[in-house]
């Protein structure tokens, strides 16, 4: 039998979720059977899967020592200072500036440096994360591609993560703005309203009608600077589909500079030879919070920005003779 005391960082979640996080390698069948056999209790009482744990509750999971060893997968963490820029932090939320080339999540190799590991190391140093407690792991509420730089919001507590995740899913009280350099001359502001379909097997996204399986996708954009061969735009994501900005701008004949997946390949070669840029020119530079409440109340009315990375400033200077 394993006994766990619920803390404020993992309170507020359903007991089913709590147990799944504590035993991340346990088969779902084992967990559901444990509930049916009344092998999971809160404060000495058997509970159903949808019971909510609160701060100070004592959760008991009746497992053998061998099962506990098999079903728990310790997450490596070190107490280390955070090496990236922090745009905002409170008890529930952490907003950080991710550099280009850094993964938000781990990949199949498990050896690359990730933003997630850096966040956990930092919170471990502060005493706000216990790598041996798998009932809650601070996580991002949204994601950026490896080669897209900019702001990422993390939930430091279960309540913070749930509120942020809902916020970014609904997108009525938060706005995400990107800076992008597009190929060609875009002469006015506009919107791109084209459904997108993700081919998960090949890692690509395509424009596809709703009736054929596409999902609604809407991007608004504002022209910031026109350079003739290139245009610097501010893109506002109304929806948050994978590769949305990259695919949308490619679909109107203005792919992002450096985008070797969806872009103008001849221009990519030219830009790479002139500047060394080998990926899309895309930076998540601003997050604005509107009328938010609850654990997110401190964010109400606030806007956070991350300046354009020097690498992109250098690309602008080389291609256009100007900077942002």
* Separation between Cα atoms, residue 2 and residue 282, nearest integer Å: 47
Describe the chain by its helix, strand, coil percentages, rounded to 5: 25, 25, 45
Annotate 182-209 with b (16+ C-beta within 10 A) or e (fewer). bbbebeeeeebebbbbbeeeeeebbebe
3-state secondary structure of 290: coil
Reply yes or no on whether 145 is catalytic: yes
- CA 63 – CA 25 distance, rounded (Å): 13
The residue annotated as part of the active site, out of 57, 121, 145, 267, is: 145
d(C-alpha 26, C-alpha 67), whole Å: 8
DSSP 230-245: EEEEEEEESS--TTHH
Question: 281 in helix, strand or coil?
Answer: coil
Do residues 21 and 59 make contact, with C-beta atoms less than 8 angstroms apart? no
Q: Which residues are catalytic?
A: 145
């Amino acid at each position: 039998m394993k006994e766990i005391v619920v803390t404020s960082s993992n309170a507020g979640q359903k007991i089913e979720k709590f147990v799944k996080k504590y035993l991340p390698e346990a088969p779902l069948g084992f967990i559901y059977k444990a509930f049916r056999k009344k092998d999971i209790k809160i404060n000495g009482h058997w509970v159903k899967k949808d019971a909510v744990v609160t701060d100070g509750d004592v959760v008991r999971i009746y497992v053998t020592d061998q099962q506990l060893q098999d079903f728990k997968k310790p997450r490596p963490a070190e107490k280390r200072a955070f090496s990236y820029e922090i745009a905002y932090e409170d008890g529930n939320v952490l907003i950080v500036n991710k550099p280009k080339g850094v993964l938000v999540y781990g990949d199949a190799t498990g050896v690359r440096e990730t933003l997630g590991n850096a966040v956990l190391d930092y919170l471990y140093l502060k005493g706000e994360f216990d790598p041996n407690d798998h009932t809650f792991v601070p996580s991002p509420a949204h994601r950026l591609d490896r080669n897209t730089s900019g702001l990422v919001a993390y939930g430091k507590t279960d309540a913070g993560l749930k509120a942020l995740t809902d916020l970014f899913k609904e997108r009525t009280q938060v706005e995400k703005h990107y800076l992008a350099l597009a190929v060609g001359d875009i002469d006015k502001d506009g919107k791109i309203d084209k459904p997108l379909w993700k081919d998960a097997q090949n890692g690509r996204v395509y424009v596809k009608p709703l009736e054929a399986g596409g999902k609604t996708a809407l991007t608004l954009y504002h022209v910031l600077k026109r350079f003739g061969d290139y245009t610097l735009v501010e893109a506002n994501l109304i929806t948050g589909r994978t590769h949305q900005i990259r695919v949308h701008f490619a679909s109107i004949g203005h792919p992002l500079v450096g985008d070797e997946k969806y872009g103008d390949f001849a221009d990519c070669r030219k830009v790479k030879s002139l500047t060394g840029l080998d990926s899309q020119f895309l930076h998540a530079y601003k997050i604005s919070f509107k009328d938010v409440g609850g654990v997110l109340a401190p964010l109400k009315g606030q806007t956070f920005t991350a300046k354009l990375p020097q690498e992109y400033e250098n690309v602008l200077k080389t291609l256009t003779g100007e900077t942002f």
